[in-house]
Every structure is written in structure tokens, then in C-alpha cells.
Structure 1
Amino acid sequence: MNSSELVIAWYETRDPALFADTVSFSICESFPCAGVYQGPKDVYENFFAKLMPMFCEFRVERDLILEEKNKVVVIGRYMGRVKAENEEFAVPFTHVWTLDGGLVTSVKQHAETGLLDRAFAAA
């Protein structure tokens, strides 16, 4: 499996086994649950476990995937509805993935969070 295929597999399964034990998962400052999470346990228990209950629907749409050596850049959109009032959102993002030895070692997220803020405010 090449680097792009591994990243696509993660989007489709969110399998923590695709992450290195030392993975660094960086969420931009203005996004909900922002911060840097270290290791798969931290990512899943302290980021995803807190983020996902905020939404009644949340999905990732990938528009473009670029691969260069051990880096994969994904440009896409978060789509869904915030939980409070089913307010829809479509938020552009860029994810920069670094891989080593067939595992993800780093993910850096950048997102247009103002659009998500509006959905939360409307809810």
C-alpha cells in the first residue's frame, strides 16, 4: 500500500493501527478540541471522543490528494450537522500527513473554522 492508499484507508476506517505509537496529531487553534495530541490513545480518547458528540452528522469529503515522498496532502471538506439544531456546515480543510515505515507519524490540520463557528452559533 502506498502512502496515499494508507491515508485513504484511514479516512475510510479511522483505524488506529495505521498510526505509529508516536503519532503527532495537530488540530488548528480555532477548531473545536484544538491542540496537539500525541499517540493513538490520546488522538482517539481526547480528540475524537470529545469532538464527535458535538455533531449529529460528520463526514470528510476528499477533493484532492497529492503525494510527494513521505508526505500526503489532502484538500477537502468537513460536511455535516451540528447536534443542537441540525445546522448544516461545509468547512474546507487541508491535512498534511507524514508517513514512515507504512505508518502515519504526523497529521497537521488546517481548516476554515469561521464557517463551523457560524453553524454552532446558528444552533
Structure 2
Amino acid sequence: MSESPNTALVRRLYDSGMAPEVTAEILAPDLVWDITPGFPYGGIYHGWESVGRDFFGRLLPDFASFAGNGDQFFAAGDDHVFVLGHYHAVSKTGTEADARFIHLWTIRDRKLTHLRQAADSHVVREVLNS
């Protein structure tokens, strides 16, 4: 069975490692980035500039490396894609861990408009505090 266009769009983001040329092309200007409470810097961010500065700009310096990997992609209706995946985090002291996540993406006019994230925040915080 072939992949839906929306699933392919979301997969492209993960496969690119959030490459700037891909994010510029497929993220909507009115993007909403909703990170679960309890996750480091959890909250709701509006627009890619805010996501980069206020979320990733604070999160990434806390780790030696941090990456989100999509493992399974599921189309849901005409405008949603669920992603089951894991974050791979390495602390500045070298402690490594994988934390599961689920991302729900909303798609409008071939652009990603909304991310809603739920994740194993405890695992991420444990690595952060190691």
C-alpha cells in the first residue's frame, strides 16, 4: 500500500533531521507547536521563529545531542498524521537514553500547521539531570 501524501510530507520532516530548507518549505507560517507540560520547556509556541528560539534554542544547549526519530507514521483522516517515535538524548556527561513520543500533526494546504506532542518526559528529565 502506498503512503498518503500527508504521511509522506510528515515523514520528509523527520527524514531531513529538520533541515532548514525542508522546514522553510513545509512548515506553515502560522505553525502552532504544542509541547506537553512536564517536558523541558513545555508550552505552546507560535511560528517557526519562536519554536527555534524559545523551544529548541533553550532545549538543545542542555544536551550534548538530542534528536527526534519517527518510527511509524499513520494517516488519520484528510488532515492529520500520527507519528510514533523516540527521542535519543545524550547528556553533557555522556548519559544516553531513548524516550518514546507520539506526535499528532495537522496539515492544511500541503503545510504542517500544528504539532501536538506527548512524550515520556520523565526519561528526558532524567538524562538532563545526569
Correspondence for 1:67: 75
Instruction: Give unpaired runs (5+ residues) of structure 1.
Output: none
- Structure with bigger strand share is 1
- CA-CA distance at 1:7 after TM superposition: 0.9
Answering whether residue 97 of structure 2 is matched by residue 89 of structure 1, we say: yes
TM-score (norm: length of structure 2): 0.86
> Which of 32, 46, 71 does residue 24 from structure 1 map onto?
32
For 1:36 and 1:51, the matched residues in 2 are separated by 14
- Deviation string 1:102-123 (CA, Å, 9 cap, x unpaired) is 10110001001111222223x2
**Structure 1 counterpart of 2:11, one-letter code:** I
Q: Please, what is the CA RMSD of the aligned residues? A: 1.4
Give the count of matched residue pairs. Answer: 121
TM-score (norm: length of structure 1): 0.90
Instruction: Give unpaired runs (5+ residues) of structure 2.
Output: none
Q: Percent identity?
A: 26
Conserved 8 A contact 2:14-2:70: no
- Deviation string 1:50-102 (CA, Å, 9 cap, x unpaired) is 1111111222232211002210000111012012x111111010000000001
**Structure 2 counterpart of 1:103, one-letter code:** K
